[in-house]
Amino acid sequence: MMEKKVDLSVNIAGLGLKNPVIAASGTFGFGREYSAFFDLSMLGGIAVKGLTLKPRKGNPPPRIAETPAGILNSVGLQNPGVHAFIKDEIPFLRRYDTAIIANASGNTVEEYEEMVRILSDADVDAIELNLSCPNVKEGCMVFGSTASGIEQVVSRVRKSCKKPLIVKLTPNVTDISELARAAEAAGADAVSLINTLLGMAIDAKTRRPVLGNITGGLSGPAVKPIALRMVYEVSRAIKIPVIGMGGITTGTDVAEFLLAGASAVMIGTAGFVNPYAWVEAIDGLEQYMAENGFSSVSELIGGLIV
């Protein structure tokens, strides 16, 4: 008699995923490069590269700097624009059995509204509202760093949003739970956190910043303890689902975020070190559950013993 496999499926505000592991926005492009390494259908979902109304060149180089336990990036939302994404990238992604989450950015409330209207009529499964990119001077951080700013944008886009709406939160604030409550009150279906922590690197020999933009967003294993703490706090402050991210590398890391209160996770920076990070994390989570007597992911979510 074959041993029954564990149930990895999750549901995020009506968005069904075969497993809780999503490729994080900004680290996976549109999936083309990683499709050479593994079948993208193995993923629960793909949050595509941050999109804007018009094509964007991004910040001046250098845009990536390695740190002792992660990377700093200041890419600045380089992307081909939302219309090129719909025309060229969605048909490619639809070859695979995985959820497509479009990440939308804007410089004004009106741009966010237009982005959501366009994406609501496109063949995507959910929209992740990027209110937290630390490498863009306009838009994201202007709205995403205050509860009133989040409430303003989310309440406006909610009126035209026909897809599950995920709001991505910044950790570069005093109280992230306050932002999560504002997103929930304004109509968000879920929140995702954390985006990168603002940092910088200096070359002591040249006495110059390493990054062309001077500062950038820190991601990777170094941010995991902060991300876990914030996911734990936010999951207890709101009733809508939380998608956790920040330094996740292994299946055990995934389990920790689920125990802290996340209903799903996103993995990003780990893929730069190991292009199989996502599928190995899925396998690792399955092994963890089998070894510890869990039959479904739902049993793990919020299961931290305190």
pLDDT digits (tens, 9 = 90+) for 155-182: 999 999 999 999 999 999 999 999 999 9
If pLDDT is split at 50, 70 and 90, which confidence band does 3 have? low
The least confident of 12-16, 133-137, 200-204 is: 133-137
- Mean predicted confidence (pLDDT) in 225-229: 98
Percent of the chain's residues with pLDDT above 90? 94
The least confident of 123-132, 136-145, 270-279 is: 136-145
The least confident of 3-7, 15-19, 26-30, 219-223 is: 3-7
Domain annotation for the chain: domains and CATH numbers: 10-59+76-197+220-299 (3.20.20.70)
Say how far apart CA 169 and CA 18 lie, in whole Å. 24
If pLDDT is split at 50, 70 and 90, which confidence band does 1 have? very low
Percent of the chain's residues with pLDDT above 70? 96
Does the pLDDT of residue 287 top 50, yes or no?
A: yes
Does the pLDDT of residue 19 top 70, yes or no?
A: yes
Say how far apart CA 257 and CA 241 lie, in whole Å. 13
- Mean predicted confidence (pLDDT) in 214-242: 98
pLDDT number for residue 161: 97
List the one residue out of 251, 261, 255, 257 whose CA is nearest residue 223.
257
pLDDT digits (tens, 9 = 90+) for 78-137: 999 999 999 999 999 999 999 999 999 999 999 999 999 999 999 999 999 999 776 665
pLDDT number for residue 5: 84
Say how far apart CA 293 and CA 267 lie, in whole Å. 25
pLDDT number for residue 4: 56
- Mean predicted confidence (pLDDT) in 181-200: 97
Does the pLDDT of residue 50 top 90, yes or no?
A: yes
Does the pLDDT of residue 139 top 60, yes or no?
A: no
Q: How many CA atoms lie within 13 A of 244 on its CB side?
A: 31
25 CB contacts (<8 Å, ≥6 apart)? Answer: 47, 48, 49, 50, 101, 103, 128, 130, 168, 266, 268
Q: How many CA atoms lie within 13 A of 189 on its CB side?
A: 19
Does the pLDDT of residue 241 top 70, yes or no?
A: yes
So which residues are the catalytic ones?
133
List the one residue out of 137, 121, 117, 72 whose CA is nearest residue 129.
117
pLDDT number for residue 137: 57
Pairing relationship of beta strands 215-219 and 197-200 according to DSSP bridges: antiparallel
Does the pLDDT of residue 58 top 50, yes or no?
A: yes
- Mean predicted confidence (pLDDT) in 34-60: 97
pLDDT number for residue 118: 98
pLDDT number for residue 132: 77
